[in-house]
Structure 1
Amino acid sequence: MEGSQSSELADRACWDRLTEKQRACLDLLLERKTSKQIAIELDISKPTVDQRITTARNILGATDRHDAARRYARLKRTYDRITYDPMDIPSAPTFVPSDFADGDPSEPMQANADGGIPVGSWGTGLPFGKIGSHDHGSSARLAIVATMLVVMVISLLGGLGIAQALTRLISG
């Protein structure tokens, strides 16, 4: 009994020493992915993946990658349990009385795809239309950047002109 308790303590110590990044690599190793595939999925370099797996292998006391995967899988079954499944149950919908006479506005407002700024008869709800969207072509992006640069240069020159006029007024 005492041997199994010390084994459990050693297992827990190994589990606690593994970092989240090492666990992420080991999780993908459990899916039998290569270091290159893991690197692509985690958006890191292959040597970084190899380093994390080697360090995890040393922590687990494994002889190779497959042994590390087996030991990690055993520890994961024991220590990576979700004790409860958090569930967010939305409250029941309630009806809100309408401010309109017949309950229907003349120009209904619609929500954007992301549920953000409402859309009405004025377009997308953004002050400058679709400038803030990310689906512009390269020529449209270039035109937007050029316009922004021109506005910044004009603002800077206007500020310098005002500063020069104030300097002349103060110096008399």
Structure 2
Amino acid sequence: MGDGEDDFTFATEKQRAVLELLANNRTSKEIAGALAVSEPAINRRIEVLRLRLGGITRHQLVRRYRNWRDRIALDAGSSVPCVENDDEFIQLGARAAFGKAGDGSDADETTARFRDSIAVRVDAPWAEEMPQPRVVPGMLDGSNAMLSRGAAIAIILLAILASLAVGLGVARALADIVNG
């Protein structure tokens, strides 16, 4: 066929669905997931289209489909005149009131209250002091923190030394067996 206007009129609905997703830079696996079909079925549909268009590459297939789709959209869009509509502008509400007493909210001077009741912070989120995350568990913190942490360090040290001794014992036993 060539680059004529009817390049993809022969394609079935399934093939067009695959081409549409392929034109959006999706992989075969993503297309298969989106269409709930197997990946080999997607690859077969693409291969049939490639062979039908003269054995072109997948990249060329996608480029031709995009060009064809754009031409069709341009032709369809050229028949509809461009109409400006001033009624579609978004109308903003009245100016926000900051921290009015008696409006039933717990707003302070940094919170804006709009007509549709959405609270918006005026200051940056990183400007206020955030509570620090707990680095150590509560068991190792408190009145006996120094003693608890020292005991935990000693227990961990003894566990490491014990595992080292067991490892050396196993290594010596294996060496005796090998030399044996």
| Band of TM-score, shorter chain | 0.3 to 0.5
Quick check: which has more Rg, 1 or 2?
2
In terms of fraction of residues, the more helix-rich structure is 1
